[in-house]
Amino acid sequence: MKSTSAVYPARKMSAVEKSMLGCTIDRAPQLLPGLLTAVLLAWLSVWLSQYVGVTLLGFTKTPISAVMVAILLGLAIGNTVPLPASLKPGLTFAVKKVLRLGIILLGIRLSIFDVFKLGALGLPVVLLCVLSALFFTTRLNKWLKLPERLGILIATGTAICGVSAIVATGPAIDAEDEEMAYAVAVITVFGILATLVYPYAAHAIFAGDAVKAGLFLGTSIHDTSQVTGAALVFADMFSLPRALDVATVTKLVRNVFMAAIIPLMALYYTRKVAGQDETSSKNARVARIFPLFIVGFLACAVLRSIGDAGTNAGGYAFGLWDGAAWQDTYGFVKSWAVNLLVVALAGVGLSTRFDTLKNLGIKPFIVGLGAALAVGGVSLGAILMLGK
């Protein structure tokens, strides 16, 4: 394999991500350039989607998704215009932190009972997809004679939650930065392709069934940002917002598997390759392998449930808002959740570099393609079998 450290600085990516966990106000000057760029691109995307869909095409509600526009514009700009390095910290912040805040606020769309109902609905499909992705990817990686650690990274990224799973798994199996960079690049490429194609495929395959489409998007696309983006595109294009709820909860169920799968994969690697019987102490960091924004999502769902209980009983939500005012309040939060997600997806587009792919070689992409097709096929088959 050829080195990609010059075009895809995996070590710097890890450092930036690590520093974001301890973000303080003194880092604001570093974050503002990239963050404001993502915000401006998101605003432009929303305006363009409205202008083209409503003003030019005459629809009452635009059929053009602002998320799709943000991703495509970001990809176009990021790969044609040399972006200054000063934008990187802010773009990373948008992709990591703004995305998570948006997902947390999405919890206000659902009651906690809806969350558990949808989670239980998606659990069998999620479990089948996770297991099949792990098995098929590691087998294909071995068949192509690629490094064991690279196969594990691509497998966990495909099975659970994309880049986050790769970043969490890498230290647990002592992966090299180059191996992590390869896995991130492969997952990113196929995840973005799925984000652009799967919303339309899901609508065609499931005949507009929002629940089945949401299950498919939530289980077959890799990264959390990509699932959310695809679900928003589907909801916007076909006026089926329920798909966003189903896809989001399904993806969060997948993310929870990080707490079990990453230590197991580390144990598998150390026993198979290093001949050891226990995993590294690095696996013990719960905050690293369990996405804490899931707790925030559930907290918002609990708040929605408590508020609804108050107004449904003829009183006030939290003693402050009557029924109409409470609807306006959580409606405002929902709209800002979507706005934050558009900003995050604009950051994803701006951060993705096609020139990274030149030095990867074909074999990692064969593994990534095989993994994507396997998890998509299992997802589709499981939903069709268990759909009723």
Give pLDDT, residue 361: 73
The mean pLDDT value for 18-43 works out to 76
Q: What is the pLDDT of residues 97-148, one digit of tens each?
A: 888 888 788 888 878 887 787 778 788 888 888 898 889 988 898 898 888 8
Where would I find the beta strands (DSSP E) of 39-123?
none
387 vs 305, more confident: 305
β partners of residue 317: 321
The mean pLDDT value for 265-287 works out to 56
Alpha-carbon distance values, 118 to 101, 252, 292 (Å)? 21, 11, 19
The mean pLDDT value for 197-222 works out to 91
Percent of the chain whose predicted confidence (pLDDT) is above 70: 84
Give pLDDT, residue 388: 58
The mean pLDDT value for 304-316 works out to 88
Cβ partners under 8 Å of residue 371, min gap 6: 133, 136, 137, 140, 154, 155, 158, 190
The mean pLDDT value for 185-208 works out to 88
Residue 218 binned pLDDT confidence (cut-offs 50, 70, 90): very high
State the burial class of residue 287 (Cβ atoms within 10 Å of its Cβ: 0-12, 13-18, 19+). Answer: exposed
CB 139 within 8 A of CB 229: no
Percent of the chain whose predicted confidence (pLDDT) is above 90: 17
263 vs 221, more confident: 221
* Whether the predicted pLDDT of 63 surpasses 80: no
Question: Where do runs of H (alpha helix) occur along 206-322?
Answer: 210-220, 224-238, 242-256, 258-269, 286-289, 293-312
Closest-CA residue to 160 (of 130, 135, 132)? 130
Measured between alpha carbons, how far is 293 from 337 in angstroms, rounded to an integer?
Answer: 13
CB 63 within 8 A of CB 83: no
Give pLDDT, residue 18: 44
Give pLDDT, residue 95: 82
Give pLDDT, residue 280: 44
The mean pLDDT value for 20-29 works out to 60
172: number of Cβ within 10 Å: 25
Measured between alpha carbons, how far is 199 from 231 in angstroms, rounded to an integer?
Answer: 7
Measured between alpha carbons, how far is 43 from 343 in angstroms, rounded to an integer?
Answer: 8
pTM over 0.85: no
Measured between alpha carbons, how far is 321 from 273 in angstroms, rounded to an integer?
Answer: 60
User: Residue 126 phi/psi, 5° resolution?
Assistant: -60, -45
- Burial pattern 99-124, b for ≥16 Cβ within 10 A else e, equals bbbbbbbbbbbbbbebbeebbebbee
